[in-house]
Amino acid sequence: MNTGPVLLVDDEPVVLRIHAAAVKQFGFETIIAETAEEAVSLTRAYRPSLVISDVQMPGEGGFDFVEALDRSGLKAMPVIFLTGYDDIEIVRGGLKAGGDDFIIKGGSVERLRNRIAFWLASGFQELPSDLRRRALIAANAVKGDHFSKVEDHLTYSPALTQRVLKAVRAEMAPLGADFGVRLVERVCFLGRLSKLIIDECASFGDFVRFPDYIIAVINGLNPVWKREMWPLLGRFEDWACDMRFVYAGVEPLKPFREYEWFVEGLER
């Protein structure tokens, strides 16, 4: 779990107090910024583990703030965007800016608490870049007259989780009880799990919820090496850049010595 402070960015003091109370329930320190400029300075000074930012603020807004973090090399944490507008354009703009999650203002505080808890405990540093790209493509394809509500599309799907869980269990069944004990097997497992989830995603919301599905399937399997998966999630981008991770994802799970890329590596 990340242990840095949580940065709250909003120009409304009442909203900041409500969000600070939600964060403090988890025992985390909060730091507060009322402008995008101040938020960049605080990020540089404190390196927060999570940012919760309003989208609409006087002057530079939340998108400008997160884009500034990205340009400065400071975007190394999840960002939850808060908005008063339930609009597909918010999702498109937020994904382009580097946002990782979206919450519509006026809803249940419990929803905000749940998303804070998820990002602080999941191990993910942000929404993986490939999933952000896929989510943005899917969001751009949405026509206004076919769109209902942002939060309807961002709802976690237990059915998707169960389909992937069933497929993974079937592939793991013949591999033996010691599969996953080795690091290389856990990396191959993560590659395969990622591909199975991506294949099941049907909307931009499914791609945004990719980290949720990863965690849900791992928890559903509950392997003895479950805790060893969390450090891998923090470096997901590094694994995803390795072609061996990609190769492992497109084939059913197998002992790592049977992968073609492994054998080729031995022959060099």
Is 52:80 a contact under the CB 8 Å cutoff? Answer: yes
Please report the domains of the chain, with CATH numbers, ordered by start residue.
6-121 (3.40.50.2300), 145-267 (no CATH)
Cα(250)–Cα(157) distance, rounded to whole angstroms? 23
**Tokens 């290389």, located at residue:** 184
Cα(221)–Cα(84) distance, rounded to whole angstroms? 38
CB-side neighbour CA atoms (13 Å) of 123: 17
Give the rounded distance of the alpha carbon of 12 from its chain centre.
Answer: 27
pTM of the model: 0.91
Residue pLDDT, tens place only, 111-159: 888 898 899 899 999 999 999 999 999 999 887 655 567 777 788 999 9
Cα(154)–Cα(19) distance, rounded to whole angstroms? 21
User: Count of CB atoms within 10 A of residue 231's CB?
Assistant: 11
**Which residues are paired to 38 by β-bridges?**
none
Residue pLDDT, tens place only, 133-143: 999 999 998 87
